[in-house]
Amino acid sequence: MKRYFLFFLVLSFVHFFGNCASTISLEGATGRESVAEHATDAGGGGETVSEEVNKHENTPEKGTAELLSPEKGATERLPESSLVKPIQLPQDEAPHNDPVEWWYYTGILKDAQSNEYGFQLVIFQLDIGTLTLFLSQFAVTDLATKSFHHESKTAFTKTPQPKTGFKVAVGDWFVEGHKGKDHLKASMNGYAIDFQLETTKPVVLQYGNGSMTLASNKPFYYYSYTRMKVTGTLKVKDKPLQVTGLAWMDHQWGTMGRPGVDFEGWDWYSLRLDNKTELMLFLVRNSKKVGDFVGGTFIRKDGSTVELKKGDFILKATGQWKSPHTKAVYPYGWTIEIPSLKLKYTVSPLLEDQEVYKKVRDKASIYWEGVCQVKGTEAGQRVTGKAYVELTGYAPK
């Protein structure tokens, strides 16, 4: 679910702009509650998709234990009711009039010399009263130099929508696409991307039917393209490199509770295996209503899916890493087991320091998101792959 959620980061910007009362009129702290409580139903005409998709030195973390799913109802798919409208594509690719929405891409690439790079590009759309805030986050993990680089931008200008598909921009950074064929562009000091993406598998409706509740009684929607072929140019220190690889795209929108208020944070895992299967898992920590809760989706080679619920999987952290920048202590390295599917994985970060902390006003907005190696077995057969993991809410209060 997620990627979720850099919503912490968005809220810090809401707080910042809310305090700039002399320049911009916003609700400030009360605006956060308003964002979480006022949703406009998504929808529109079009073809319903739901019918098309088959159903270092690591120090062991004290107290690490099996992470269980929520009590009944906490993350169950929402029933088809007047509040829930089935996801319809391509109409739902475009922006909605909901409190929060994001288009989120992560990927792993190789250049002609087989140097590896990870990238993250996300654009958030956040409605704040009469204003709409756009926040974009861009990051590159350069595994050749073992370094991590990130930057962010904000804007209040809506992007005119094309006749088909979608486009969302913050300055000269943008994401655009139609029916699983997307174009991404962003740049920062030393790095720039200009990528073409094309999905190789059907769209995945997360939570079984693409909708759930998250510390709210209103729907939160989520679909993914889990295996998108990437081609294009990565500039490294202004030198253009032709790269190829695979990316994962999440699109989420709707109404959710308040991070840091209704729940502490979340962990999100996206595994892409070399045998053309994928796995998404999430853990929302310390919800005031239900405690920790988890869920996920396993995607088979043919694109059919298995929804993962309470008790379906065991997730354990094997170590921890303390940030030299923020003193946040993150879980570091994981084992995952799904007994019913005979799946076992070990997930290991490929670089310790992949923490996003620059230009962040609020400690709740600091997070770790990075490239990981995956090794394991599926039905006794060895598998390898790569993953992106996101960890929020670990910075000291």
Do residues 69 and 75 make contact, with C-beta atoms less than 8 angstroms apart? yes
* Tally of domains within the chain: 1
Instruction: Specify if 287 maps to a domain.
Output: yes
pLDDT on residue 365 = 79
First to last CA, the chain: 24
Q: Is residue 2 part of a domain?
A: no
Task: Tell me the pairing of strands 147-155 and 305-308.
Answer: unpaired
Residue 364 confidence (pLDDT) = 65
Is the distance from CB of 248 to CB of 106 less than 8 angstroms?
Answer: yes
Cβ atoms < 10 Å from Cβ of 179: 13
Alpha-helical runs (H) found in the chain: 7-19, 29-37
- Tell me how far apart the alpha carbons of residues 234 and 144 are, in angstroms, rounded to a whole number: 13
Residue 289: count other Cβ atoms within 10 Å of its Cβ: 13
Write the single-letter amino acid at 317.
A
- Evaluate whether residue 1 is within a structural domain: no
Neighbour tally for 156: CB within 10 Å: 12
295 and 207 Cβ atoms separated by less than 8 Å: yes
Please tell me the distance from the alpha carbon of residue 204 to that of residue 55, in angstroms, as a whole number: 9
CATH of the domain at 16: 2.40.370.10
- 234-246 burial, b at 16+ Cβ within 10 Å, e below that, comes to bebeeeebebebb
Is 141 among the domain residues?
yes
Residue 148 lies in a domain: yes
Please list, in sequence order, all residues whose beta carbon lies within 8 angstroms of the beta carbon of residue 304, skipping any fewer than 6 positions away: 54, 55
pLDDT tens for the chain, 397 residues: list them.
444 444 444 544 444 444 333 233 222 222 222 223 233 332 333 333 333 333 333 333 332 223 322 333 334 444 445 577 889 999 999 999 999 999 999 999 999 999 999 999 999 999 888 899 999 999 999 999 999 999 999 999 999 999 999 999 999 999 999 999 999 999 999 999 999 999 999 999 998 888 887 777 788 899 999 999 999 999 999 899 999 999 999 999 998 877 667 778 889 999 999 999 999 999 888 755 555 678 999 999 999 999 998 789 999 999 999 999 999 999 999 999 999 999 999 999 999 999 998 866 566 678 999 999 999 999 999 999 999 999 998 988 7
pLDDT in the model for residue 43: 31
Q: Which of 254, 252, 247 is nearest to 93 (CA)?
A: 252
Question: How many Cα neighbours within 13 Å face the side chain of 147?
Answer: 8
User: What's the confidence (pLDDT) of residue 235?
Assistant: 98
90 preceded by a cis bond (ω within 30 of 0): yes
Give the closest residue to 330 by CA, choosing from 284, 395, 374, 282: 395
Q: What is the pLDDT of residue 39?
A: 31
Say whether pTM exceeds 0.85: no
Q: Is residue 112 part of a domain?
A: yes
Q: Indicate whether 138 belongs to any domain.
A: yes
Please indicate, yes or no, if residue 397 is contained in any of the structural domains: no
Residue 358 is part of which domain span? Answer: 7-392
